[in-house]
Amino acid sequence: MSSSSSSRTFWVGGNWKMNGSVAAIKELTSTFNAGSSPSDVEVVIGAPFVYVHLLSESLRKDWAVAGENCYVKSSGAYTGEISPEMLKDVGAKWVILGHSERRNILQESDGFTAEKCVKALEAGLKVVLCVGELLEEREAGTTQQVVERQLAAAVKVLKEQDWTNIVVAYEPVWAIGTGKVATPEQAQETHAAIREYLKTAVSPKVAEETRIVYGGSVNGSNCKDAAQKPDVDGFLVGGASLKPEFLDIIKATQ
């Protein structure tokens, strides 16, 4: 199933990962704040916990701020963890969950990621739910099984109405920070399959309305072609979101 993306607002997110400093963020936000941003594109930037408040105070108000992770409880004896309520309290409106670096480096399971989604949505945050396969899984032809397994854990615990506050980010792990990029055709193929899965697993309405964005070495020069694909509803951008070229990526559909 391929559908016209015109009914879905194009969405571009930045994920700063474990990067940034007070000085760098002040400089970058002044660049972003001075740049032009299309009114029909939703823009969100994910920052490390310690900079969420600074970013939410200094970033232009037509863009939103995300945390890069959260825990499954509101408060308590969980040393070093951050609750969705805390993120909200310091100005975040979104949270990035299930990023491949959490899944693969920190060994977070599909079930734990799904539990975080439930908690974050209950707290009033919107969720970027990341899914994607490793290089060996792509080469073995199991991309779809991997992505569906990751999504199935969330589908199991989420209500249908929860999906209005979720963006699914497809990030092939082999294309993150490697300079390798899935071709626009590969991205479209996987996005269309994700949409087909949501149609069966949740509902046709959710499949039609959920934004599915691509992440994996997206930059100012390679984003234009992918943006034209009917099931690519935007991007989750890593390294390039720490540079002025992020402004070019949010104009990919122009």
- Catalytic residue positions, numbered: 99, 171
The CA-based angle 220-174-202, given to 5 degrees, is 90
Token couple for 194: 């994700």
User: Which residue has 């149609």 as its token pair?
Assistant: 199
What letter represents residue 186's amino acid? Q
The CA-based angle 47-53-56, given to 5 degrees, is 80
CB 79 within 8 A of CB 99: no
Residue/partner pairs of 99-108 with CB below 8 Å, 24 or more apart: 99/15, 99/68, 99/69, 99/130, 99/171, 100/130, 100/132, 100/171, 100/173, 100/176, 101/17, 101/176, 102/69, 103/150, 104/134, 104/173
CB 146 within 8 A of CB 137: yes
Tell me which residue of 247, 253, 248, 145 sits closest to 197, measured CA to CA.
145
Residues in the chain: 254
| H or E, element range at 136 | helix 135-139
Which sign does the torsion angle of CA 73, 75, 81, 85 carry? Answer: positive
